[in-house]
Structures are given as structure tokens and as C-alpha cells.
Amino acid sequence: MNSRKVVQLFFTTLLIGSISGAIVGFIFDYDILTSGSFANFIVGIIWLLGMSAAFTLISQMGFFAYLTVHRFGLGLFKSQKLWNYVQIVIVAFVIFDLIYLRYIAFAEPGVTIFSYMIMPLLLLAYGLLIAFLKAKDTNKGAFIPALFFIVVVTTIEWVPALTVNDTKWLWLYFTPLIVGNTWQLLILHRLAREPKN
């Protein structure tokens, strides 16, 4: 992949992630953005785009970090099969932590753990879907790394919002991350396959 394609990946990810985050932010802040002047609306949208762009940059750093970690893991375990098992264990551990640690940190008296299971299980289901699409487009060996990236790397990038436990910030932070991560994962092999100009 040449430098032009890397730049293309960077800017398309930044654009898609920023817009997706701004849309979610607009939904949460609809009353605030539409109740004031037109200038208030414009400044609010610019602020949402800027915040979402920052979160999208985090997703890009996470993507390139994972590409390095993946190569390191393959070299360390000397076998893709063994490295895949390690990744599956880490995915299970992260899903458990997303449920249990958030429950013990934020649950109010009378709230069951089941309400804290919804978000992690939806993330897992989404990760399985994206991993299936990645494997279908490339090869079966891409399934576990794709699942690991969507679940584990997205969760690591999402930690600052998870510790706040505010619904608006959870979604405002999560949307550019998941959109950026999904886009990068599903477009990389297409860019790499394109003939050089």
C-alpha cells in the first residue's frame, strides 16, 4: 500500500467518524442546539465535529497499534492458531470486565447485573458480524483478529468514557470509535488490493 492510500484511509476515516459522532451528539443536544441563535447552532455543530474528530483519531491510533500488536503476537506465539486462542481468551475477559466491573462500580441498590450485560453483548454481536464480513471478504483466518480488534481495541479506546458512566458521553465517544474502527477494518484489504496507479 502506497502513501497515497494511507492518506486516503486517514482522511476518509476522519471524515466518516467525525460526521457519525456529530450526528449522535446532535441527537443528544437537539434542544440546546436548536433553541438558541443560528450562531449557537453552528458553533455547537463545529464543536461536535471537533470532538468526534479527536475520538476518530484515537480509533486510528488504535488501528495501527493493533496491526503492530498482531504481528508481535504472531511472532511471539509462533503459530496463528495459538495466537487466535489467546485473542479469544482476551475477548472473553474484556466482555466479562465490561459487564462485571461496570456493575460493581456504578450499579445502584436494586439494579441487577442484567442491565449491564446489554451493551457488552451488543458489542460482541456487532464484532461477530464485522468479523464475519471481514473473513468473507478476505479469508477465514481474519475472523478472530477482526473480532479481537472490534471488541478489545474499541473497548480500550473507550475506557475514558466508560469511567465517567454518562450516557451522552458513552455514545458520543463510542460512535466515532466504532465507525472508524469498522471502516478501517473493512476497507484496508480493499485499498491493499487496488492496483497501483
Residue 163 is predicted with a pLDDT of 85
- Decide: 160 and 173 in contact? Cβ < 8 Å: yes
C-alpha cell at 41: 447552532
Interval 174-195 mean pLDDT: 89
149 backbone φψ class: left, alpha, beta (φ>0; ψ -120 to 50): alpha
Interval 123-132 mean pLDDT: 97
* Residues shown for the chain: 197
Instruction: For residue range 69-101, list pLDDT tens digits in order.
Output: 999 998 988 888 999 999 999 999 999 999 999
Check pLDDT > 70 for residue 196.
Answer: no
Residue 195 is predicted with a pLDDT of 60
Residue of 37 and 144 predicted with greater confidence: 144
Interval 144-170 mean pLDDT: 92
- Decide: 108 and 117 in contact? Cβ < 8 Å: no
Alpha helices in 78-166 (DSSP H): 80-106, 118-137, 143-148, 154-164
- Calculate what percentage of the chain has a pLDDT beyond 70: 97
DSSP 13-70: HHHHHHHHHHHHHHHHTHHHHHHS-HHHHHHHHHHHHHHHHHHHHHHHHHHHHHHHHH
Instruction: For residue range 154-166, list pLDDT tens digits in order.
Output: 999 999 888 887 8
Rounded CA-CA distance 178/170 in Å is 12
CA angle, corner 23, sides to 145 and 185, nearest 5? 15
Residue 40 is predicted with a pLDDT of 87
Residue 190 is predicted with a pLDDT of 87
Check pLDDT > 60 for residue 148.
Answer: yes
Residue 1 is predicted with a pLDDT of 66
- pTM for the model: 0.91
Residue 174 is predicted with a pLDDT of 95
